[in-house]
Amino acid sequence: MLNLSIKELSNKLKTKQISSLELTKASLDRINTTDSKLKAFLHVAKEEALDAAKIVDKKIANGEKISVLAGIPMAVKDNICTKGIKTTCASKLLKDFVPPYDATVMKNLNEKNVIMIGKTNLDEFAMGGSTENSAFEITKNPWDLERVPGGSSGGSAVAVSSNQVVYSLGSDTGGSVRQPAAFNGIIGLKPTYGRISRYGLVAFASSLDQIGIFTKNIEDCAIVLEEIAGKDQMDSTSADIDVDSYSEYISKPINGMKIAVPRELMQDGVQEDIKNALKSSIEKLEELGAVVEEISLENLKHSVETYYIIAPSEASSNLSRYDGIRFGDRAKEFKSLEDLYIQSRTLGFGDEVKRRIMIGTYTLSAGYYDAYYKKALQVRTLIKRDFEEAFKKYDVILTPTTPNTAFKIGEKINNPLAMYLEDICTIPVNMAGLPGISIPCGFDKNAMPIGMQFISKAFDEKTLFKVASAYQNATDYHKKSPKL
């Protein structure tokens, strides 16, 4: 039942073929039988979910009009605030934090009577690409339990790919939605910077962060985006630009659509199976009428360096709020007020978070600011210009989502730089604030899913839905599920 699309489920609910209570129980049962192995969830909000389901069923019984998302179980990354339900960011420091308010996305979804099943695991404060940096548990990839699910939104990706819920929310600062989507064989969208309000998303790198969506098919993704996109008074970086009816762009022809493939992201270091999957996908897109050409986006190869200055710099500033005074854990022993800050932070943060705070503090410190931070912001402009130039001629840019498929748990945890380099294809998109979507496009020799990424102009998500749905309709990779 949980592998049906949002539309199919909504129709079944409205015509009383199933009840939201049944659907919610099915989701809870699925979590019960699979999550001891997968560890996608940090907490399951069972009682709240069952109560919410009863409300939906009552509305349906009373003949009230309900949203297409009403009554359908979904999950939320544990760095998005849920009023009255713990939000830990997978950090020891916030292990008991209960938000006194809802993130704007949650407020919008709750008004539509969605069933929020629970909060999913992540790399602490969304810093990482494997979900191994969680202070609480290691999430497993359902396609191979010895492999990572990707990250940082690993739990949200697994909850969808293993059919625990119908869709989920994550956050994407350098690829944290698209990369785990690729590793799990599902769809992951990072919308344009400013498309979805970030009020209530715990800040990591404010000029890069954006809330994203995981689904099993492209139409579901369009439907969810329609419901949560738009201007919000509570987030001054949210855009006052009309939200398109994205689902109307599903299954439209792509004749004559111009697609560019940057050769910088198809070179050495990209796994052979991924290159081959991309080549077949390009042929498929050409059969569908698209014109595909290779281009050069020269500055993209500097994205990772740029990111690992900008993101830690912003993080070191954002994470200074964790001082053990207003919220979060406070150390038991300290000698002074200053020592209280030091001890609380030292005990509360994990290794990777500390490393990034240290890098950011260094690159922002006197004497290094110009050489690192300012330089990175200039290179960021060059990366952005490369995209702008390409979009004068092309509608869409196509790349692999990741240079490699899901790696083994433990394989890269002691080599942060190797882990960072896995984000080479996704980071440029955040740098330029563009929308990007990862969709399944094959499997490697170990039967692990491969993802490809479409990128479009800012606020042009409709074109992503158009091209991704055309590809999806012509292939069946998205229909495959892991055996559990």
Partner 1 sequence: MIDKETIEKISKLARLEFSEKEKEDLVKKLSNILGYVENLQSIDTTGVEITYNPNGFENQFRKDEVKESMPRELVLQNAPDKDVGCFKVPKVLD
Write out the catalytic residue numbers: 77, 152, 176
**What is the nearest approach in angstroms of partner 1 to the Cβ of residue 388?**
11
**What is the nearest approach in angstroms of partner 1 to the Cβ of residue 386?**
12
Q: Which residues contact 419 (CB under 8 A, 6 or more apart)?
A: 128, 129, 130, 412, 413
Conformational region of residue 268, where left means phi above 0, alpha means psi within -120 to 50, and beta covers everything else? beta
Residues 40-99 that bind partner 1 (CB under 8 A): 96-98
**What is the nearest approach in angstroms of partner 1 to the Cβ of residue 203?**
14
192, 217, 313, 453: which one contacts partner 1 (CB under 8 A)? 192
Q: Which residues contact 275 (CB under 8 A, 6 or more apart)?
A: 266, 400
22, 305, 411, 444: which one contacts partner 1 (CB under 8 A)? 305
8, 37, 253, 371: which one contacts partner 1 (CB under 8 A)? 371
Q: What percent of the chain is helix, strand and coil (3-state, nearest 5)?
A: 45, 15, 45
| Residue 265, CB-side half-sphere exposure with 13 Å CA sphere | 32
DSSP 276-313: HHHHHHHHHHHHTT-EEEEE--GGGGGHHHHHHHHHHH
* H, E, C per residue of 17-34: CCCHHHHHHHHHHHHHHH
36, 62, 233, 287: which one contacts partner 1 (CB under 8 A)? 233
Residue 431 within binding range of partner 1, rule CB under 8 A: yes
36, 63, 272, 326: which one contacts partner 1 (CB under 8 A)? 326
**What is the nearest approach in angstroms of partner 1 to the Cβ of residue 97?**
6
CB nearer to partner 1: pick between 19 and 456: 456
Mark the segment that binds partner 1 (CB under 8 A) among 21-29, 354-362, 400-408, 465-473: 354-362
| Residue 156, CB-side half-sphere exposure with 13 Å CA sphere | 37
Mark the segment that binds partner 1 (CB under 8 A) among 18-26, 157-165, 187-195, 438-446: 187-195
Mark the segment that binds partner 1 (CB under 8 A) among 11-19, 143-151, 296-304, 461-469: 296-304
Residues 399-428 that bind partner 1 (CB under 8 A): 416-417, 420
150, 180, 324, 436: which one contacts partner 1 (CB under 8 A)? 324
Amino acid identity of residue 429, one-letter, is V
Q: Which residues contact 16 (CB under 8 A, 6 or more apart)?
A: 60
Mark the segment that binds partner 1 (CB under 8 A) among 11-19, 132-140, 381-389, 401-409: 381-389
Query: Distance between alpha carbon 43 and the CA centroid of its chain, in Å?
Result: 19
Q: What are the backbone dihedrals phi and psi of residue 343, each rounded to the nearest 5 degrees, phi first? A: -65, -40
Q: How far is CA 252 from CA 51, 285, 472, in A?
A: 39, 13, 12
Residue 341 within binding range of partner 1, rule CB under 8 A: yes
149, 154, 194, 451: which one contacts partner 1 (CB under 8 A)? 194
Asked whether the CA dihedral 138, 142, 144, 145 is positive or negative, the reply is positive
**97-136 mask for partner 1 (x: CB under 8 A)?**
xx-xx-----------------------------------
User: Measured between alpha carbons, how far is 69 from 47 in angstroms, rounded to an integer?
Assistant: 19
32, 346, 446, 473: which one contacts partner 1 (CB under 8 A)? 346
**What is the nearest approach in angstroms of partner 1 to the Cβ of residue 124?**
14
**What is the nearest approach in angstroms of partner 1 to the Cβ of residue 337?**
5
**What is the nearest approach in angstroms of partner 1 to the Cβ of residue 163?**
34
How many residues touch partner 1 under the rule CB under 8 A: the total is: 71
Residue 345 within binding range of partner 1, rule CB under 8 A: yes
Report residue 199 as tokens. Answer: 């009020």
CB count, 10 Å around CB of 369? 13
Residues 8-47 that bind partner 1 (CB under 8 A): none
Residues 452-481 that bind partner 1 (CB under 8 A): 458
Helix (H, G, I), strand (E, B) or coil at 341: helix
Residue 243 within binding range of partner 1, rule CB under 8 A: no
Mark the segment that binds partner 1 (CB under 8 A) among 8-16, 155-163, 178-186, 350-358: 350-358
Residue 389 within binding range of partner 1, rule CB under 8 A: no
**What is the nearest approach in angstroms of partner 1 to the Cβ of residue 210?**
10
152 preceded by a cis bond (ω within 30 of 0): yes
User: Measured between alpha carbons, how far is 115 from 26 in angstroms, rounded to an integer?
Assistant: 12
Mark the segment that binds partner 1 (CB under 8 A) among 73-81, 341-349, 438-446, 474-482: 341-349
CB count, 10 Å around CB of 365? 12
Residue 251 within binding range of partner 1, rule CB under 8 A: no
